[in-house]
Structure 1
């Protein structure tokens, strides 16, 4: 058992860098914990009085990780978690926001986005990698989006590019191998099982569910591009397509705008639904696992000595 990491400002000081890993939902937090190489004690954290977060500490490939969840989904909750986290851990440079999202079934250079795939934020065209699609003003009946979200950290964009090259050359997909870290035979982890490609149903945008409720396994497809963030839960395929067409959106989620307001991060989302009326929880576990597995692999493309001179770019 490795010696417990005492990760707070009084013992580590500002010379030791930490990585933030934010995962809003319980299923996402479980997947994140299974991706750690080592688990460290959090009993010695000297938490700021204004910090109400609960942290899990560990490491991946020698990088110290601070995992935090949200008590409620949404951009406001994400912003609060980030603000409190940086009070207790001022040496956090940047991080990852990892979880599930609703995919837009468009075609990228990796093929059509489907359930079980992963989308990672990447600057494209005029956008930084994420947009707040519900932030703007109405002018003569037309909604005009205002403001821009910060770019992801260059170090993480470079790691994502290096990982893409590694996976293109690999016989065995390292991201898929990371998913296998989760023992789905254990009762509490059965939710992370792969549901099967036969259960990936993509319907025409105009089709509505009438009665609510009613080999690709060994390679994880990762798309990189623009992720949309907002407070609205999109469950309408026509609205999804209308919003996505304007800016080339690949995925919808609810926390990126809030997290990015406090610190630079890369947004990673496993696709668990298509933002349509058929939205359900069947794919949530596997999608969370796929996103966490991708995030884990990024830390194998970042020097353990980074940063030597500070900064998040």
Structure 2
């Protein structure tokens, strides 16, 4: 969709939005109220940026290069974005470990609103579908792929402990998220990590969770959960 937005000054962009996967970047671009014309970036910055807006917020989006995963690659993209922001995009900078007070305050209010009313995620997803007709991220697939490969993956499993999960609506959880440099497909290892780590994080992350990190991990829900996470980010910004 061609942009009809007039170019803004670099100092107008005060929200930095980092995506770990191209699929997440697609959903993030689609959730914007408007996409803006690109602006020049400093020499040496390897990132590719998308400029856009949600409500009153002007946003810079960057994505980890395709094929690279893990916290190291994400840190590289984030570092370059922060350096460019401090020099070019905006005069308002902050440390990753010390998010602006307005962000956790807004997150707390959003959590309270979700407990009292309903989330606007379905409304925003519907808007994405009407604006971007080619987007295939909005309908969650059924659970037909959830147990794919059970016979092979469960050769040594205790069949009495199998969980049969029914399809359900997306849920918003306000809790810690573990990030690492490898894909987890082991439920025992996952549970060990959960019990041993994760009490000190201060960075605010929105993440679409598309599997249970066990031996039945698949990618069937990646696109849909990327769209849901982007919609939640929009709701937080609003």
Question: Normalised by the shorter chain, which TM-score bucket?
Answer: 0.7 to 0.9
> Which of 90, 93, 108 is 1:161 aligned to?
108
* Distance in 1, Cα, partners of 2:97 & 2:186: 28
1:37 paired residue among 26, 33, 39: 33
CA shift at 1:245, angstroms? Answer: 1.6
Query: Does residue 1:246 correspond to 2:196, yes or no?
Result: yes
- Deviations 1:218-254 (Å, cap 9, x if unpaired)? xx421112211211221100100111122468xxxxx
Secondary structure in 2 matching 1:182: helix
TM-score normalised according to structure 1 size: 0.61
2:57 to 46, 60, 63: 63
Higher strand share goes to which structure?
A: 1
In the alignment, is the contact (CA less than 8 A) between 2:33 and 2:54 conserved in 1? yes
What is the aligned residue count? 215
The alpha-carbon distance between structure 1 residues 67 and 167, as it changes in their structure 2 partners (threshold 3 A), is same
The 5 Å alignment of 1:145-224 reads 150=97, 152-170=99-117, 172-183=118-129, 188-196=134-142, 198-199=143-144, 201=146, 208-209=153-154, 216-217=168-169, 220-224=170-174
Distance 1:265 1:245 in 2: 20
Whole-Å separation in 1 of the counterparts to 2:185 and 2:168: 26
More helix by share: 2
Q: Give the secondary-structure state (helix, strand or coil) at the position aligned to 2:176.
A: strand
Aligned to 1:89: 85
What SS does structure 2 have at the residue aligned with 1:180?
helix
Name the Cα RMSD after superposition: 3.1
Match of 1:295 in 2: 233
Q: CA deviation at 1:194?
A: 1.1
Which of 43, 48, 56 aligns to 2:42? It is: 48
Q: Which residue of 2 aligns with 1:80?
A: 76
Residue 28 of structure 1: how far off its partner (Å): 0.4
Q: CA deviation at 1:163?
A: 1.1
Q: Which stretches in structure 1 are left out of the alignment for 5+ residues?
A: 96-148, 250-259, 301-313
The CA deviation at 1:151 is 5.3
The alpha carbon displacement at 1:168 in A equals: 2.6
Aligned to 2:187: 237
Q: SS at 2:207's partner residue?
A: strand
Q: Which has the higher contact order (CA 8 A, sep 6+)?
A: 1
